[in-house]
Structure 1
Amino acid sequence: MYEDKTADNIQTDLLGNITDDYDKTIGYSTYDLLKSFAIEESDIYKAISSAIDMIDVDNLTGADLEKYVYQRKGLQRKVGSFASTNLTVNGTGTVKAGALFETSAGLQFACIEDTVISGSGTIPVQALEIGSSYNTPANTITEIPATIQGIISCTNLSTVTNGYDGESDDKLRGRYYDMLRNPITSNNKYAFEAWAKEVTGVGNAKCFPTWQGANTVKVVIINSNMQIANQELIDEVQNHIDPKGVQDSNGNWSTWGTGLGEASIGSYCTVDTATGKAINISATINKDSNYTDEQIKQEITDAVNKYFAEIALDENNAYVSYARIANILFNADGIKDYSNLTINNGNSNISLSLTNDLCEIPVLGDVNLIDA
């Protein structure tokens, strides 16, 4: 706002306000005295500009952003979480808490409690660092970097999916804007969506009021990687909003709808996750010989997944755009040109259902790149 208020510009303005009856050249007292004042005044304008920036949430980052949104809306940044899983180990011996296991890429997991193994068994392990980078496919945690007496081998039989990155500035700012644009009043739909998004690991949420009649609410969530949530995260959000408690022999829940969570008494909330809609891509490409097939396919995969994350549970983008996929291929390193692009065997947009019966997010299926 005050970029033009430099010391030199202020000095020029000040000199212009003094009659030419005075000598205003460099070295004379009029010039030198005003120069000193201009320097100080420039610093004042810098401070004013900085103060103005501090009341614009779009200019804030880190701790300043956290302080701003907390003071105004009570929002707190969601911390990330450690990926964890049960590791199957073979051998006979004791695996101590802290014993390390890792993937071939060097992602390390530590045992979190002493476990005696006889022949074969499972141990609980947790990533050494917070974040989604520790989410890894099944059968990839197979290395034992330091010998554990009696233990021969290890593997994770299931995919690891519960590692989440800490909330970024953009995500936190987005939740702040959501609260401004969609005010929470009592038990309205925006309240349920906000409550879901408060939980670490939730990336987006959509609320369906009266989905099974009066006083029933369905909340569909996806994880912070903008993918289908696992049961652990679903249960965590359920307990945060409206814990169901224990089910009796007649199918009734002990605490459901009783107001023990964020939802008020009489609101029966059911939390679920989205359904993945497979999106298969096929195209004929003219390759750049400087790139391998694997490199090209990986670049396309990464770009498409990034695009899918942008539109997951977005009412304004409830379709996979044929043009966006085409643009990804057009701009990909390693592809000189392409033709015969199809998504799900067609050349049109793919709609995504966002209803309480079927709430879909796009999931990348096959990527078939054929040499021209």
Structure 2
Amino acid sequence: MFEHKTFENIMLELLDRVPDDVDKREGSIIYDALAPTAMKVAEVYSDMDVLLLRTFAASADGDDLEKRVNEHGVERKPAGKAIRRALFTDGDGQPLDIAIGSQYRLDSIVYKVLERIDIGEFNAEAQSFGAGGNKDYGEMLPIEPNDKLGKAVLADVIVPGEDEESDESLYQKYTEHIREKAFGGNRADYKKKLMDLQGVGGVRLRRAPNGGGTVKAVIIDSDFNAPTPEFVQYVQELTDPIEFKGEGYGTAPIGHTVIVEGVEVAYVEVELELILNGVTLGQVEEQINQTLSDYFAELRANWFKDLDIIVRITRIESRLLEIDGIEDIASTILNNIASNITLNEEIPVLTNVTIKEVST
């Protein structure tokens, strides 16, 4: 980085060039004459410091980071719209076909009907970009009146919506691109092409599961949950279409037969015996459930690293002890056993939390 220059040390340098028999004190004629120049030079040095930070990918952000990584063929993954299953029934509860292109609202998001799957069952696309389109479930209201409609229900996520890729994720992708060159169907190439697909949040690759020339790609969705069968099928068709396996009609090279699977789920029940101080179970129950949910979500988000996932009792207890009113934890049981759970391929999903208060 450029040598750090402040107004004060620039003024000292300028005044050092003035003969000592001239009054150089603050407020003197020569001091006041040089001060505006010193201020402007200090601003130039400050601007150069900022410019230098914007030059390197490690310290750049926003558009500057994007332009830097674009030079190496790395692009920010754009935001995408969620595609959901929508179910429609008439006033008698019977499946009802509705018009393609009709729109329905759930809370703040409008969903547009794209295509018919079966009678009363359609794919609908969120009209807002981002992961918000994945979150809500339930009854929608039609934008335009439909006398035949009894109920419109927003159901499963088919293709998850995604927020625009963050700077942190973009920089990580850039460093991986520099270290592991994607080329001709190598591991980095498969990973890049799969991760570029909307809704894919991570991938693990397995070589030759069914002999030479076969590849297994296990994916997790962008919300770090197990993908729906429809989404797995969507990724399969884009990677190596079932009808033309190994023919190179997808992103996989010709001669490569690719099997796309969704990550398996391991359900975990947690039983806690807590020693409380000044609170009741009802007062801390919501915080406990949220703390555990956040921990399990973090574990799922790290699944892509291709390492064992360990649900650790010590991590659970340390987080719970940060909640005001929990004085100590007498016991923590995971799936009826007082020990950690190690998962090789699956992701952990919290299913039930049982909390009991005990005395000291």
Q: Report the TM range for the smaller structure's normalisation.
A: 0.7 to 0.9
Matches within 5 A, 1:168-183: 168-183=166-181
**Partner SS for 2:205:** strand
TM-superposed CA distance for 1:101, in Å, is 4.2
User: Contact 1:237/1:271 (CA < 8 Å) preserved in 2?
Assistant: yes
Structure 1 residues not aligned, in runs of 5+: 247-254, 354-358
Which residue does 1:321 correspond to in 2? 312
Compared CA separation, residues 207 and 290, structure 1 to 2 (3 A): closer
Whole-Å Cα distance in 1 between the matches of residues 31 and 103 of structure 2?
Answer: 73
Bigger shift: 192-201 or 21-30? 21-30
Which whole-Å deviations, capped at 9, do the CAs of 1:124-183 have from their partners, x for residues lacking one? 433342333333576x22656875323233334x43363322222222222222212322
Matches within 5 A, 1:1-372: 4-16=4-16, 18-91=18-91, 95=98, 97-102=101-106, 106-112=107-113, 121-136=120-135, 140-141=138-139, 148-156=146-154, 158-160=155-157, 162-166=159-163, 167-244=165-242, 246=243, 255-285=244-274, 286=276, 288-289=279-280, 292=283, 295-316=286-307, 318-332=309-323, 335-353=326-344, 359-372=345-358
Compared CA separation, residues 304 and 66, structure 1 to 2 (3 A): same
Match of 2:124, as an amino acid?
V
User: Contact 1:132/1:164 (CA < 8 Å) preserved in 2?
Assistant: yes
TM-superposed CA distance for 1:50, in Å, is 1.3
Match of 2:320, as an amino acid?
L
User: Contact 1:215/1:268 (CA < 8 Å) preserved in 2?
Assistant: yes
Compared CA separation, residues 284 and 223, structure 1 to 2 (3 A): same
Compared CA separation, residues 127 and 12, structure 1 to 2 (3 A): same
**Partner SS for 1:234:** helix
TM-superposed CA distance for 1:54, in Å, is 1.0
User: Contact 2:5/2:42 (CA < 8 Å) preserved in 1?
Assistant: yes
TM-superposed CA distance for 1:203, in Å, is 0.7
Compared CA separation, residues 210 and 21, structure 1 to 2 (3 A): farther
Match of 2:179, as an amino acid?
R
User: Contact 2:82/2:134 (CA < 8 Å) preserved in 1?
Assistant: no
Compared CA separation, residues 268 and 161, structure 1 to 2 (3 A): closer
Match of 1:28, as an amino acid?
S
**Partner SS for 1:129:** coil
Whole-Å Cα distance in 2 between the matches of residues 84 and 334 of structure 1?
Answer: 41
Structure 2 residues not aligned, in runs of 5+: none
Compared CA separation, residues 146 and 36, structure 1 to 2 (3 A): same
Whole-Å Cα distance in 1 between the matches of residues 339 and 82 of structure 2?
Answer: 40
User: Contact 2:4/2:45 (CA < 8 Å) preserved in 1?
Assistant: no
Length, aligned pairs only: 350
TM-superposed CA distance for 1:24, in Å, is 1.0
Which residue does 1:250 correspond to in 2? none
Compared CA separation, residues 319 and 305, structure 1 to 2 (3 A): closer
Match of 1:134, as an amino acid?
G
**Partner SS for 2:348:** strand
TM-superposed CA distance for 1:304, in Å, is 2.1
Match of 1:5, as an amino acid?
K
TM-superposed CA distance for 1:209, in Å, is 1.8
Match of 1:365, as an amino acid?
T
For normalisation by structure 2, the TM-score amounts to: 0.84
Whole-Å Cα distance in 1 between the matches of residues 259 and 320 of structure 2?
Answer: 40
Match of 1:219, as an amino acid?
A
**Partner SS for 1:237:** helix
Bigger shift: 216-225 or 323-332? 323-332
TM-superposed CA distance for 1:225, in Å, is 0.7
For normalisation by structure 1, the TM-score amounts to: 0.81
Compared CA separation, residues 333 and 324, structure 1 to 2 (3 A): same
